A and B are shown apart, each in its own frame.
Chain A
Amino acid sequence: MTAPSSTLKTSRLSGLLGNRALLTLGIVIAVWIVASLTSRGFGTWGHLRYLIELAAVIGVVAAGQTLVMIGGGIDLSVGAVITVTAVGVPLLSIPGDATGLGAIAAILGITTAIGIVNGAGIAYLRVHPMIMTLAMATFLQGALILLAGGSAVSVDNAVIDMLGNARPCGIPASVLFWIAVALVTVLMLRRTRFGARVYALGANPLASALSGVNVPMTTLALYGFSGLMAGLAGLLALGMNGQGYVGIGDPYVLMSIAAVVLGGTSILGGLGGYAGTVPGAVLLVTISGLITVVNASAGWRSVLFGVLILGLLLLSGREAARR
């Protein structure tokens, strides 16, 4: 159990996420207040909006990662899938596709299929999720270098440009998009049968199978969803960057896993929820933003970031002992 026993007693049936989400949210607010007071320019609307925009990409990848991890797995291929999307959309854009929606649909189909292949390897060939998704990531990176070469490709796609840069009512489109993804993910986990099966699968695959849960199909759906989410995150990243290049998705593997764990989802599966991942993603970009203003070399910044993530995990994301 990730929640302390005192909260277990009061938690409702569907409220197993406990206090982790709130705890992470509290840390985010505390960090923001302290940073606004001490660092000039941090607390401005423009800067905070920028942080949330950055968090949106992580948040969308982490939606898939949250489901996979609740289901007892892990998806290390999300970074490569984001790169596939960012490099693939420019390649798939053909003159006849004026709106650019065709390329988007095609690439999302591809990323979902990549996820389903991951799921098939895990469910039917019984490859460990870590090995399966890592092998997939390596394969995809190699294939991209063969297809796209090493150079960056620019995109000319109205929809992607809008996702990355439009600001209806002053709110970035990427953030609105993230809110929509968050709603769908939370509802899917808490209010659909599929969600119940994901929790059951992660907590005890054997007991789930004997209770009639179709374990292979649930696994396929999980990784397929993660592939779709990584594809959507890739569209956001492409829109913000304006161009795709090999390696654009690399940071998101650790980021998505860290956001999920910071949000209180158990790395052992079966417990947690997306409501914690959202502040987890915001916390991550906040910290990396704060480190950027520290006057240090890139090497030291990376060291500091790693140490801070570890410290935060000790504070909020540690696994409670299970019997």
Chain B
Amino acid sequence: MATPVLEARDVRKAFFGNPVLKGVSIALEPGRVHALLGENGAGKSTLINILSGALAPDSGGVLVDGVALPLTPVVARRHGIAVVQQELSLTTHLSIAENIGLGAFPRRFGLVDYGALARSARALCERVGLDEDIARPVGDLSLGRRQLVEIAKALYRNPRVLILDEPTSSLSAHETRTLIGLVTALKRQGTAILYISHRLAEVMEICDYVTVLKDGSRTADRSLDGVDAAALVRLMVGRDPGDLFPTWRPTAEQQPAIAVRGFAAGRVRGVDLDLRAGEVLGIGGLVGQGQEDLLLGLYGAIPAAATTAQFGGRDGLPGSVTAANSCGLAYIPADRKREGVHLVHAIGSNMLLPGLARGAGWAWRYPAPESTQIRALAARFGIKGDLGRAAQALSGGNQQKVALAKWMPLDPKILLLNDPTRGVDIETKRDIYTMLRGFAAEGRAVMLASSDTPELVHLCDRVAVMRDGRVVAVLAGPEISEERIVALAMAADDVRSAA
């Protein structure tokens, strides 16, 4: 067995006391395509950041050619480690060629040698299958094309280790084929490749070896020979839900609170969906498959269209947040610091805002009933301390409670929640779960988009799984399982039927 070019041994990493990696080892060998799999939040990104020197592990070591090194991005680059990140790192105003050479321009007499840069850029574009004028600014290119520039940029430095984080997520089928050809060619040249993808078909096709992460631990590290897609999915899911979730009885009524047909908003297309009163409807899928656009579109915050739509017995889409609020809708956003709370304002003011946002502007405010209302809400949601403090003084979990509590005075009939438990401590998670089932029991309709699959399994009456802007399946009752949801989200069924 060859010496690994890049290796992480027993690395641990925690953020704010939350362990993200709990002693993970991985070894990248030359001439091997190594797949790294895991659900959202399993620790893949953290591991990539440690391997590329962007993060230092709390304990454990990173070895380059068998030698332990304190790795920084500069050191990593010097040792030939290149990363193609999921969040693109290109400078949009610069040309394709300039982006490819950025930081290592060829020089002649102390000036940039644009001729040499153009020659190597042109050669690289050909290799990655990018047929664009290299003088074009990157900002003009589509997301998929930018991805190719990003890969060309990584190849410019002739890397010995190439880390590809979901390289095909925005590529067309044709571009994907070119990329797969490129990866195979690099492998033959002896490059070590770490390949992260949610597309199992690709992984089965080009990868030789696989490491699977689950909740920050390694659950598999083996050759891909004789492994099928279903087995990979099983390795990624299936943790003990513990007593995190409340027990609940189905209270769904037949009557839909929301019924849309042919719904489209943002990247969401052709969605037919019913949300019933008294149920929790989960929206599952990989991150960024249109879940947020679906919720925002229903809420009237982004432009949306539908062939037919009914909201609480009224025909038509609300079309604006104000109209949605008066239909009884409330929206709890995922990014609470940016979208959910007013950080510099008092906790109490935050909780009053939805109430004050409606009605005539000149309408008078009454401080006494307002403060009674605030105190009642804080008591109900367990928000302790002085309510005159700025909301930024609260923990993430308590901010989330404020983001939820502020809607209660409006008595919403339909709650749309976007990943409400992301980055929230266990205690608050349990509180939120209990509240959500409580809302359903009161006859309200709850739509819960979540990147946390156990949440969907243990809390929801039904789960709609989204992929690429569409609802690919709606699971109900006993059909709901982590395996089913993950398999649908990753199109593992297609793999099986294709095989």
Q: Which residues of A contact B (CB under 8 A)?
A: 1, 8-16, 190-197, 199-200, 203-204, 206-214, 218, 221, 270-271, 322-323
Contacts and interface: CB of A to CB of B under 8 A. Distances in A.
Contact of B353 (A12, A211, A323): A211
A199 B348 CA distance: 13
A199 B338 contact: no
A106 B478 CA distance: 71
Contacts of B325: 212
Interface string B439-470: 00000000000000000000000000000000
Contacts of A14: 367
Interface string B353-390: 11011111111110100110010000000000011111
B321 A193 contact: no
A11 B387 CA distance: 10
A278 B344 CA distance: 23
Contact of B361 (A8, A221, A323): A221
A213 B353 contact: yes
A26 to B, nearest CB: 23
Contact of A192 (B365, B371, B388): B365
B387 A13 contact: yes
B292 to A, nearest CB: 12
Contacts of B341: 204, 207
**Of residues B340, B348, B362, B390, which shows the largest number of chain A Cβ atoms within 10 Å of its Cβ?**
B390
Contacts of B359: 193
B390 A8 contact: yes
Closest 8 CB pairs of A and B: A194-B361, A212-B357, A196-B356, A213-B357, A203-B342, A212-B325, A13-B348, A193-B356
Q: Which of A15, A199, A200, A322 has the most CB of B within 10 A?
A: A200
A206 B333 CA distance: 11
Interface string B335-355: 000111111111011001110
Contact of A211 (B338, B354, B390): B354
Given A14-B367, A196-B352, A209-B301, A214 B357 contact: yes
Contacts of A192: 361-365
Nearest to A14: B367
B322 interface: yes
Given A13-B349, A192-B364, A196-B349, A208 B342 contact: yes
B195 interface: no
A92 B359 CA distance: 37
Given A192-B364, A213-B353, 9 more contacts: A8-B390, A197-B356, A200-B342, A204-B343, A212-B321, A212-B322, A212-B358, A322-B343, A323-B392
B389 A8 contact: yes
Nearest to A191: B365
A64 B358 CA distance: 23
Contacts of A214: 322, 357
B331 interface: yes
B342 A270 contact: yes
A199 B353 CA distance: 10
B406 interface: yes
A176 B343 CA distance: 38
A219 to B, nearest CB: 12
Contacts of A12: 388
B371 A13 contact: yes
A210 B345 contact: no
Contacts of A11: 346, 388
19 contacts: A1-B392, A11-B388, A193-B356, A195-B365, A196-B349, A200-B349, A203-B342, A203-B345, A207-B338, A207-B340, A208-B357, A209-B301, A210-B331, A210-B339, A212-B321, A212-B354, A212-B358, A270-B344, A271-B344
Interface string B384-421: 00111110100000000000001000000000000000
Given A196-B349, A270-B345, A211 B357 contact: yes
A191 B364 contact: yes
A192 B362 CA distance: 6
B344 A203 contact: yes
A298 to B, nearest CB: 41
Given A207-B339, A221-B361, A200 B345 contact: yes
A204 B374 CA distance: 21
Contacts of A15: 388
Nearest to B336: A207
B345 A193 contact: no
Nearest to B301: A210
A8 B345 CA distance: 10
Contacts of A204: 338, 341-343
A199 B357 contact: no
A207 B403 CA distance: 10
A194 B392 CA distance: 24
A112 to B, nearest CB: 15
Contact of A208 (B333, B353, B370): B353
Contacts of B370: 13
B338 A206 contact: yes
Contact of B321 (A190, A191, A209, A221): A209
A259 B474 CA distance: 59
Of B321, B358, B361, B387, most buried by chain A (CB within 10 Å of CB) is: B361
Contacts of B299: 210
A193 B340 CA distance: 20
Nearest to B356: A196
Contact of B388 (A9, A210, A271): A9
Contact of B343 (A197, A203, A210): A203
